[in-house]
Structure 1
């Protein structure tokens, strides 16, 4: 099978690639994750993707625990080893219970002790199962998280799906295994 991804050598980047690399490395991530190393092949795409990513990861109205839960559902749906490897750790740090992480990894519906976690999980899994979110579930998300929260949750699912698709196409391995 053709290897499609290799870690970048910052010394071999073009000036536009290096500028984006440095911008990402000096941002809230503190590093240049594999997805952005890959996207650097198109500096404009890398720059715009990382800007949206900062919002989706750090600036929505969702606490990290709920964002990371949604991201795990996305990573599992797309079978993205890289995305899972990063966000499994982040989910633990954010307080997602180990049993919930294990259930998602195994493709099972977790037993939630938290209604917000159950709602985020249900919203994301319903979308992936039906390419839609049923009206009652959508209404529940808007009632709980507001119109802004519902659209941010949809945006999180969409943004991380885009990353997962690119990661899968380029067969990016889990972080640290390139």
Structure 2
């Protein structure tokens, strides 16, 4: 870990307020990247609120949101993010074969057109740095404009999370081994 994370007793009033807001929120705890972001309290406040929205309040159930998050974690080889969201994807009902395919950089087989579209959008955003017209038009048909915007939000937010976790070298919990090469 490259950064000393503050305990609540070491935090400034601004940092402590943001920390307390996160603990009182839907997560029930302070997410690991937020602990790094607290070095910039304003950023931590807004990023944590955005994270809570994209994690819990998009139009997608967890099973679908986690596809975009896992594609993002895999793209960035974010070991901690993969560890955390694989568990959440399984809990949300995502097929373990889909998770394994994303991990191994194989295109999963989907029986849900929304799941396939979220995967295709996330892959295009990360690998193609955008979305071609045909994919965009199909995405709007399948997910709606709000859905397209929210997939972009998921990929963008979890890119920032992955960059934070990777840059500051957040370790996996004791006894855990990364699945990502």
Separation (CA, whole Å) in 2 of partners of 1:57 and 1:125: 19
2:129 aligned partner = 131
Q: Could you tell me which residue of structure 2 aligns to residue 164 of structure 1? A: 162
**Cα contact 1:7–1:34 (8 A) shared by 2:** no
**Contact residue 5 and residue 170 of structure 1 kept, 8 A:** yes
- What's the counterpart of residue 105 of structure 1? 103
Q: How many residues align?
A: 175
Tell me the residue number matched to 1:79: 77
Residues 107-129 of structure 1 show CA distances to partners (whole Å, capped at 9, x for unaligned) of 11112222221111111112222
Instruction: Indicate if the aligned counterparts of 1:72 and 1:87 stay in contact, CA closer than 8 A.
Output: yes
Corresponding position of 1:22:
20
Gaps of 5+ in 2: 176-181
State the shift of 1:176 in Å. Answer: 5.8
Q: In the alignment, which residue of structure 2 is the partner of 1:45?
A: 43
Contact 2:113 2:142 in 1 (8 A): no
The answer to which of 52-61 and 165-174 deviates more is 165-174
Structure 1 residue runs without a partner (length 5+)? none
Residue by residue over 1:21-60, the C-alpha shift from the partner in whole angstroms, topping out at 9 and shown as x without a partner, is 1111111000112101111111111111011111111111
1:119-151 deviation digits (Å, cap 9, x = unpaired): 111111122221121211111110111111111
Deviation at 1:7, TM superposition (A): 4.1
What is the TM-score of this pair, normalised by structure 1? 0.92
Which residue of the other structure, out of 148, 151, 163, is the alignment partner of 1:150? 148
Give the Å deviation of 1:152: 1.2
**Which of 89, 93, 96 is residue 94 of structure 2 equivalent to?**
96
Check the 8 A contact 1:86/1:175 in 2, yes or no: no
- Sort the Cα spacing of 1:43 and 1:176 in 2 relative to 1 into closer, same or farther, 3 A: farther
Note the alpha carbon deviations across 1:141-167, whole angstroms, 9 max, x for none. Answer: 101111111111111111111111122
